[in-house]
Amino acid sequence: MTQLSLTSKNRCFNGEQHYYTHDSETTKSEMRFSIYLPDEALARQTCPAILFLSGLTTSPDNATQKAHYQKKCSELGMIFIVPDTSPKGDDIPDDERYFVGQGASYYVDATQSPWSENFNMHTYIIEEFYDLIRLKFPISSIGIAGHSMGGHGSIMFGFQYPSKFISVSAIAPICVSSQSEWGIAAYTKYFGEDSKDSLPWSKFDAVSAIKQAGKQYPLILVDQGGVDEFYNTGYLQPEALHAACQEVNQPVTLRYHANYDHSYYFIQTVIEDHIEHHYNATLTHG
């Protein structure tokens, strides 16, 4: 059974911020994650959890330090979990571009060498890590959220594995990863050339996951900053997300926020709305 190693523990509001490492069979490397546990969870009462997937270049530290989720999770008695964005280390393949390699998994399983040995973040998140957190912590249900590349991940996972999540949200997500310059660069490395016959890249797009989903959610929440430099240059495509939701009648609240950018200053501004979105889903589902 996978062993967790506690690397730090800090009391924060009415709960504790923990960091752990564990050896992953899926990524063949040591993986880090952070988890905020409200006092209810520390007392081994089951609590709803949010799994938050982070964006390009980040580690669990970015959201844990800058997203400012702890206060609201303390108030509502929610667990907040931040896994890493890829396997990392000197022995792990990398690329000089920040949007390929370490910190840039896009939460897919690579099929091409040398990436396929470690870059299996799709299976890592949805099987190994998902099972691990449910086994080790008193989690009653999991909502999935994310930012940028992590918003791509949260929507993709949420609609591909609807039995595993009760709610979905995203902040400034990459909505059509296979058509963004970031995703094109990375998927070329991880999958080889795009092919409709073998493994179409679009299989790993948030919008295709919505269109092909077998289940709908009562409502998903997506926030987008109006002066986000990556929105304005076409990397994010929230309009395609909106069209996909309309096509399959998936209710979505897609909010545009004038003057906000792609940074954690925007994330902290809207994070409490996302936490409440996931919390409200637990009330509906009982």
Order of all β-strands in the sheet with 29-38: 5-11, 15-24, 29-38, 79-83, 47-53, 139-146, 167-171, 220-225, 252-257
By CB under 8 A, tell whether 86 contacts its own copies. no
Question: Which residues contact residue 42 at a Cβ distance below 8 angstroms, ignoring those fewer than 6 apart?
Answer: 15, 16
Smallest CA-to-CA distance from 66 within 278, 266, 238 is with 266
By CB under 8 A, tell whether 75 contacts its own copies. no
Task: Enter the tokens of residue 264.
Answer: 């954690």
Residue 228 known to be catalytic: yes
Among 22, 32, 57, 71, binds its own copies (CB under 8 A): 71
Q: Which is nearer to its own copies, 127 or 272 (CB)?
A: 272
Question: Rounded to the nearest whole angstrom, what is the least distance from the CB of residue 42 to its own copies in the complex?
Answer: 11
By CB under 8 A, tell whether 57 contacts its own copies. no
Residue 148 known to be catalytic: yes
**Which H or E run includes 189?**
helix 181-191
Residue 197 known to be catalytic: no
By CB under 8 A, tell whether 199 contacts its own copies. no
Question: Rounded to the nearest whole angstrom, what is the least distance from the CB of residue 49 to its own copies in the complex?
Answer: 19
Exactly one of 84, 205, 223, 228 is catalytic; which is it?
228
Among 269, 273, 276, 280, binds its own copies (CB under 8 A): 269
CB-count exposure of residue 154 (10 Å: 0-12, 13-18, 19+) = buried
Q: Which is nearer to its own copies, 227 or 248 (CB)?
A: 227
